[in-house]
Each structure stands twice: as C-alpha cells, then as structure tokens.
Amino acid sequence: MKRAVFLDRDGTLIEEAGYLDRLERLAFFPYSVDAVRALNRGGFAVVVITNQAGIARGIVSEAFVSEAHRYIATRIEAGGARIDGFYYCPHYREGTVAEYVRACDCRKPEPGMLRRAATDLDLDLARSFVVGDRWHDIAAGRAVGARGVLVRTGIGRTEEGAPHPGSAADAVADTLIDAAAWILQQA
Ligand SMILES: [Mg+2]
Ligand SMILES: [Zn+2]
C-alpha cells in the first residue's frame, strides 16, 4: 500500500477562481508543478480531491470539470511530475440540477473521495496527508486518520483566523510547496 498526499484543487494546487468555468481562468501557482514533483519523488501518490458544487448549481458541467483536470494533468506532466488521480464531488444539497441535488458521502468534509481513491489506488490512508485551504479539507483527512496541512493561499488565511472546533491542522504552511516540504520531513 502506498502513502498519498491528497491535494485540494482550488486555492491550493491552482488559484481560487470562484467557480472556475473557463480554462482561460485556470491559473497555476508558480510552484505547483515543483510541489507535485517533490511529492512524486518522495514516493507519495498525489491525488486531487475537489468539491465542485458548481455542477449541482448549474454553473459548470461535468464535461468541463473533466476537461480542466485533463489540462491540469497535461501541464503537470509537461513539468516532469504526475498526478495519480482526480476525484470531484458534483453534489450539493441546495443545488438546482436535480440529478446532483443530494446529501452524499463525498462532499468534503465527508471523506468519500479519499476512500474511493484508497480503493482504486491501494492507498494507506492512515499514513497519508491532506493539503487544503479550508477546514473541510483537513476534516476529510482526519475522518480517515490522515494528517492535514492548512495552506494560507486561497482562503486559507481567513480560515486560519477562524478555527473550526475539532479540525486543528497538523501544520499550517504558507503555500503548497512549503506544505510539501513539511510532509517530506515527516516521511
Ligand atoms: Mg480550496
Ligand atoms: Zn458528493
């Protein structure tokens, strides 16, 4: 079984863009590829886990989310790095597109995406990490025994100032590259 680092997408791997609905609005951080490559070399599977309530709200299509993930994967691979899997939750209880309007076990803070990835990729969740800019990212990791790093990009700075009961991070890092360095030190 492999250890993994689960990366939140918006505000962590790429810039927070509200509801990302066009590839022209998709912006990598300058260190995104380097961070993924460092985790690859450290022997971690790297898996993106992202809540995409915009699908249930009718703002973005599943086809666009898949297109965005192919684009991210291509850019990461062009830099000599690799993302092992992309998982998204299209659901939202207050959504408007009937097929996606429901409570589910995959919308973070629920850990369904991590569990699915663990089955698909043979991952050891208890030896894995989550990196995200929201407390719900950290909570999803905690729910399966993974350690969590809050980053100060995206809305992370605001989150840091408003701790959620029971979702303390194991570390707080300025950016994903600092989070990767901290994780590699623990390994
Ligand atoms: Mg985020
Ligand atoms: Zn879901």
Cβ proximity of 169 and 129 under 8 Å: no
Instruction: Measure 91 CA to ligand 2 centroid, in angstroms.
Output: 4
Mean pLDDT value across residues 130-143: 97
Closest ligand to C-alpha of residue 136 is: 1
Ramachandran quadrant class, 140 (left: phi over 0; alpha: psi -120 to 50; beta: rest): alpha
- Strand 129-132 to strand 4-7: parallel, antiparallel, or no bridges (unpaired)? parallel
Residue for token pair 């690799």: 82
Asked if the model's pLDDT at residue 165 lies above 90, the reply is: no
**Percent of the chain whose predicted confidence (pLDDT) is above 70:** 100
Mean pLDDT value across residues 154-170: 91
Residues with Cβ–ion distance below 5 A, ligand 1: 8, 10-11, 133, 154
Closest ligand to C-alpha of residue 9 is: 1
Asked if the model's pLDDT at residue 170 lies above 80, the reply is: yes
Mean pLDDT value across residues 37-63: 98
Closest ligand to C-alpha of residue 107 is: 2
Instruction: Measure 132 CA to ligand 1 centroid, in angstroms.
Output: 6
Mean pLDDT value across residues 85-102: 97
Positions marked active-site = 8, 10
Cis-peptide into 90, omega within 30 deg: no
Mean pLDDT value across residues 111-134: 98
Instruction: Measure 80 CA to ligand 2 centroid, in angstroms.
Output: 31
Instruction: Measure 11 CA to ligand 1 centroid, in angstroms.
Output: 4
Residues with Cβ–ion distance below 5 A, ligand 2: 89, 91, 104, 106-107
Tokens of 144: 């399966």
Mean pLDDT value across residues 173-184: 98
Give the pLDDT score at 38. 98
Give the pLDDT score at 167. 77
Mean pLDDT value across residues 129-139: 97
What confidence category does residue 166 fall into, taking pLDDT thresholds of 50, 70 and 90? confident
Instruction: Measure 78 CA to ligand 2 centroid, in angstroms.
Output: 30
